[in-house]
Amino acid sequence: MRSYLADYFYGSGWVLELKRYALAIEYDGRDFSGWQVQPQMQTVQGELERAIARMAGHQVRVHAAGRTDAGVHAIRQIIHFDTDVNRPITAWVRGVNSFLPSGVAVLWAQEVPNHFHARFVATARHYRYLLLRHPVRPSLQAGRVGWVHYDVNVDAMRDSAQFLLGEHDFSSFRAAECQALSPVKHLQRIQITEQANMLCFDFSATAFLHHMVRNMMGAMLHIGKGKDSPEWMAWLLAQKNRKTAPPTFMPDGLYLTGVTYPAEFGLPTEPEYRYGLI
């Protein structure tokens, strides 16, 4: 697979020896209109491509493990790009960070083989949703946690989550604008833990559909409020129809926490939770 840079020079007959780098990125989704570049909008991809280009001295195309929506955060998004310039690894971390806005930062960089691709060779993605249960809306945590003003039945939500595990057609949890080729995904893990008035939902899957986690959150909260039994989740999944499901829940508490790759690439395997629950 030729890179954007290689394509640029290919027609000129130039031969370049390109290096490929993988970077781990964290960002505050409140500052951006999502991951993907959009005209006249501030996006994470757009800011990274500008910053890396300044360090590399040429245009770059950045590829990510997955796209996140406006308001969704990342603790460990993985990207890659190609370059023909020689820079120390610190240039792709501290150097690039010097050109980035405060809401996004490179955590580490590593040279990888040319057959590495941040999206296509990933074997699993991991998300965490933080939900605050409190009568009063958050202020210091606004935009960083989801919020409900009522209590919920956590055991009922745990029971309902079991119906989602495994390989299924997740059309009932798929946004209308989702571009995935297939709605069939393998959900490997849902774990719900409690710390005081905060609920922590951890999700792992081979890949996720657009809005899939937020739509599952909406369905679990529907059950947690007592509006249906945990078994209703199995019925909802079987409908394969988004119109039968509750509304998409807010993006505020959703974090991309990590991406799993084959061991051959030697990338760090665990996210670094630098801020407690996140």
- Domain assignment present for residue 274? The answer is no
**In this structure, are 248 and 128 located in the same domain?**
yes
**In this structure, are 128 and 252 located in the same domain?**
yes
159 catalytically annotated: no
Domain with 68, as residue range(s), is: 4-120
DSSP 164: G
Strands 19-27 and 104-112: antiparallel
Q: Could you tell me the CATH number of the domain that includes residue 184?
A: 3.30.70.660
- Domain assignment present for residue 22? The answer is yes
**In this structure, are 167 and 44 located in the same domain?**
no
**In this structure, are 250 and 144 located in the same domain?**
yes
Tokens of 1: 């697979």
pLDDT reported for residue 17: 83
**In this structure, are 217 and 98 located in the same domain?**
no
**In this structure, are 153 and 67 located in the same domain?**
no
d(CA 168, CA 153): 25
**In this structure, are 235 and 198 located in the same domain?**
yes
Q: Exposure pattern of 206-239 as b/e (b: 16+ CB <10 Å)?
A: ebbbbbbbbbbbbbbbbbbbeebebeebeebbee
- Domain assignment present for residue 271? The answer is no
**In this structure, are 113 and 196 located in the same domain?**
no
- Domain assignment present for residue 275? The answer is no
pLDDT reported for residue 5: 54
**In this structure, are 153 and 214 located in the same domain?**
yes
Catalytic: which of 31, 69, 82, 252?
A: 69
Among 59, 92, 120, identify where a domain stops.
120
- Domain assignment present for residue 273? The answer is no
pLDDT reported for residue 15: 54
d(CA 171, CA 27): 29
Q: Could you tell me the CATH number of the domain that includes residue 37?
A: 3.30.70.580
Q: Which of 61, 49, 53, 45 is nearest to 1 (CA)?
A: 61
- Domain assignment present for residue 148? The answer is yes
**In this structure, are 206 and 251 located in the same domain?**
yes
How many angstroms separate the first and last alpha carbons of the chain? 35
- Domain assignment present for residue 269? The answer is no
pLDDT reported for residue 2: 45
d(CA 66, CA 77): 8
pLDDT reported for residue 1: 41
| Number of domains the chain contains | 2
d(CA 202, CA 268): 19
pTM value > 0.85: yes
- Domain assignment present for residue 8? The answer is yes
Which residue pairs, CB below 8 angstroms and at least 24 apart, start in 147-153?
147/250, 147/252, 147/253, 148/221, 150/225, 152/199, 152/221, 152/224, 152/225, 153/223, 153/224, 153/225, 153/226
- What does the angle CA 158 – CA 163 – CA 167 come to, to the nearest 5 degrees? 130
Among 90, 120, 150, identify where a domain stops.
120
Residues in the chain where the model's pLDDT stays below 50: 1-2, 9-10, 12
**In this structure, are 80 and 136 located in the same domain?**
no
Among 91, 120, 149, identify where a domain stops.
120
Determine the 3-state secondary structure of 7 from DSSP: helix
**In this structure, are 232 and 140 located in the same domain?**
yes
